[in-house]
Amino acid sequence: MTKMTNDLMTETASMPEVTAASLVDDAMLDQLMEQVQAEGLQLLGPEGLLTGIASKLLSKAMAVELTEHLGYEHGDRVGWGSGNSRNGTSPKTVLTDAGPVPVDVPRDRNGTFEPKLVGKHQRRLDGFNDIVIGLVSRGMSTRDVASHIGEVYGADVSAEQISKITDAILPDLRAWQSRPLDAVYPIMYLDAIVVKVRSEHVVSNRPVYLAMGIDMAGSKHVLGMWLGTGGEGSKFWLGVCTEMRNRGLLDVLIVCCDGLTGFPEAIEAVWPQATVQTCVVHLIRNSTKYVAWKDRKAVAGALKPVYAAANAEAAADALDTFEIEWGDKYPAVVDLWRRNWERFTPFLAFDPAIRKIIYTTNAIESLNFRLRKVTKTKGHFPTDDAVLKILYLAITRMSTDRGGEIGTNTQGWKRALNALAMTYPGRLDLN
């Protein structure tokens, strides 16, 4: 490194950091405040000082842009005969973080000037769009957002305009849906929430399926979401699994789901070595649907020896005992467990550390709870994209709040990971 370079670096390092606040002189601020107080002016609002300053700054900045475009200063003789010149201004109001701001957009005679700061057809600065998207991600309806902006910023924005603003995230949604996945997720859950969607003037219940994977570090990720009709079969699920494999997911050890027709077969077709496990929590919950309220606690207690058994043989004996005690009164419960027996029993062969993680579906249940909070305010959604937009915004907000992941630090994960490595030898790289 030369001496000149060293000197330049030393000089640069010693220069004070330039910030927006440092550009404003205190004496200038004192003068402005004296004038505000003397003339009874407002700081905020459409007629406030801050709006006026923003208006002048934006107008001035665009005037500088025009100067750069023309290649000469206003009134400079260099521009004589150049073939293009200034041609006045056009009034325009743009929505900013501080509310609506009137600006004077400069024009040129040839009509070739297009401001970069405020585009030709742009009515909102980018920061304003971020505010709108942030409010929508919290579950506010488009009408509520429009009302909030009117109250806080004094801006007249329609629900349709709010919807168009959120349409800007559709490319991000598509990219997120097709993003690369890890090669291995030891455990994957599949669950669904139900939303109301209007189609051809009819509002119907539609399931949104969510796949969540736990990675090698124990962090949880939403791998994808798919809007169904409620009548999905093996072809649909084969497409879902193939899509995840094409995005890089080469192996899954355990997949937990709740009796979706065709899904176990699709899993086994795409990841032949995967263990498809019926969700035990869902199996228990589905059992209570057949039970009178007064008997639910007793029935749940009688089922515990089944799913807490040491092995499949002990579980079968416990189910026989349950049938003797409750089978006459609730035969549907017994039938439910026997129909799901083949998909339930793999659970009994797992180490307790693995059992604990796949039994408690808290991770995806927590996700579903948050997503239901943002969808329950909607009577129904007008389109499929409207559903996926709000859910994507909610998921990305959760990820941002939690440091980039839906959830971290899966309790007991290290022990479970070692148990998984022994149960599925050669399929996990722990190095």
Tell me how crowded residue 263 is: count the other CB atoms within 10 A of its CB: 23
Over residues 246-250, the mean pLDDT reads 96
Residue 108: both structure tokens together: 């040129």
Q: In this model, does residue 255 exceed pLDDT 70?
A: yes
Rounded average pLDDT over 348-367: 85
376-394: average pLDDT = 83
Measured CA to CA in angstroms, residue 41 lies from 31, 36, 44 at distances of: 13, 5, 9
Q: What pairs with residue 381 in β-bridges?
A: 197
Q: Is the pLDDT of residue 198 over 80?
A: yes
The per-residue pLDDT for 50 is 63
Give the integer Cα–Cα distance in Å for 340 and 294. Answer: 25
Residue predicted with more confidence, 405 or 398: 398
Does residue 274 carry a pLDDT above 80?
Answer: yes
pLDDT (0 to 100) of residue 70: 83
pLDDT tens, 34-82? 766 777 666 556 666 666 666 676 777 778 888 888 888 887 877 787 8
The domain ranges of the chain are 37-73+84-168, 175-423
User: Any bridge partners for residue 205, and if so which?
Assistant: 196
330: which 2 tokens? 């609730």
pTM: 0.67
Locate all alpha helices (DSSP H) within 159-225, ordered by sequence: 159-166, 170-177
Which of 3-17, 224-238, 361-375, 405-419 has the least mean pLDDT?
Answer: 3-17
pLDDT in tens, 291-317: 999 999 999 999 999 999 999 999 999
pLDDT at 11: 45
E strands of 215-351, at which residues?
Answer: 220-227, 251-257, 275-278
Q: What is the mean pLDDT of residues 282-287?
A: 90
